[in-house]
Amino acid sequence: MTTLLLLPGDGIGPEVTDQARRVLERLAPEIAIETRAFGGISYETLGTPLADETRDLALKCDAALMGAVGGPQWAGVARHLRPEAGLLGLRSAMGVFANLRPALCFPALADASTLKPEVVRGLDIMIVRELTGGVYFGQPRGIETLADGRRRGVDTQVYDTTEIERVSRVAFNLARNRRNKVTSCEKSNVMETGLLWREVVTALHAREFADVGLEHMLADNAAMQLVKNPRQFDVILTDNLFGDLLSDEAAQLTGSLGMLPSAALGVDGAPGLYEPIHGSAPDIAGQGLANPLGAILSLAMALRWSLKRASLADTLEAAVAAALTGGARTRDLGGTLTTAQMGDAVLAAL
Ligand code: IPM
Ligand code: MG
């Protein structure tokens, strides 16, 4: 039996994953859905943001779909018990090292971007973010007090060749089925990891992917190019931290952060972790204002990459586009639909 693990999480997470669940029940009722607490709500009820049983289930299921984690009420909690620690722990336990974050501008939304429509119309970028290494996980880290009383915070950015190669391979393979171009972003002008990143990507390209176009770009320049001329990009390959930043920026190009899905993939055949890239948005949680399309499109990615139902993914993505073309808009897109009404619009289009 095929099983999807649903992790609604915190803030708007439960509202948006609820709509994804309705869509899945309609599209593929034969897929079993298991739901578990995750993040802050798990900390409140189980004393940990990621319970062992939830982690074990995530490793056994076919795919996990998460809503969002975090909120201001947990700002004072010890770091290892914070909602975000649960998410990083889950990514690490599942070994999902390649994070696919598509930034696609739906034709009906070209006017919703803060950039000029002629700059973003037709935009179709795939950001491939390394997800289980780099400064997010590097040791040593911590805050220490020095002998003279000053305090010092330390994070460590570290990558080895295996980590760089395996995520680069994902990016090159994706590019072959798209517009055949990879832009690899780092800061090789100032960082050792950046230098190694550039060398490893260059060597892998020459060895296995010489047919794919490869360009190197410093990450700060990439941030600028993304708002100047975003359509120059096809696949952007980058590390964990730069990928976090560039994907938020790319998301806004498309009109709303609420629209964007993501897929985190590990080795072939292992379950993937799917999540909308918007956060928990505590300011609007519980009010039915959130856009569920990021969660619904994340479900489409799960259908495509983990659940082996590519044609259902096509159907679902077409239904989202049709709902938008029909004028369905939540508040973030300048409309008045509630979260559930946007779910209704997608179901109607299905
Ligand atoms: C994201 C988020 C997470 C990250 C947080 C919630 C830990 O910003 O998925 O982009 O930094 O990876
Ligand atoms: Mg982020």
Nearest residue (CA) to ligand 1, atom 4: 244
Distance CA 11, CA 205 (A): 42
Tokens of 243: 């990928």
Query: Amino acid letter at 265?
Result: L
Q: Where are the domains of the chain?
A: 1-97+268-350, 102-265
The confidence score (pLDDT) of residue 75 equals 95
102-265 and 1-97+268-350 share a CATH fold = yes
Establish how many alpha carbons lie within 13 A of residue 88's alpha carbon, considering only the half-sphere containing its beta carbon.
Answer: 17
As a whole number, mean pLDDT of residues 159-174 equals 98
Establish how many alpha carbons lie within 13 A of residue 196's alpha carbon, considering only the half-sphere containing its beta carbon.
Answer: 14
* pLDDT tens-place string over residues 28-76: 999 999 999 999 999 999 999 999 999 999 999 999 999 999 999 999 9
- The CATH fold assigned to 102-265 is Isopropylmalate Dehydrogenase (3.40.718)
As a whole number, mean pLDDT of residues 248-259 equals 87
- Provide the annotated active-site residues: 136, 187, 220, 244, 248
To test the pocket of ligand 1, the residue of 10, 74, 84 to mutate (highest count of ligand atoms within 8 Å of its CB) is 84
The dotted CATH code for 1-97+268-350 is: 3.40.718.10
Cβ–Cβ < 8 Å for 241, 134: yes
Q: 244 CB under 6 A from ligand 1?
A: yes
To test the pocket of ligand 1, the residue of 38, 82, 87, 129 to mutate (highest count of ligand atoms within 8 Å of its CB) is 87
Indicate which ligand has the atom closest to the C-alpha of 279: 1
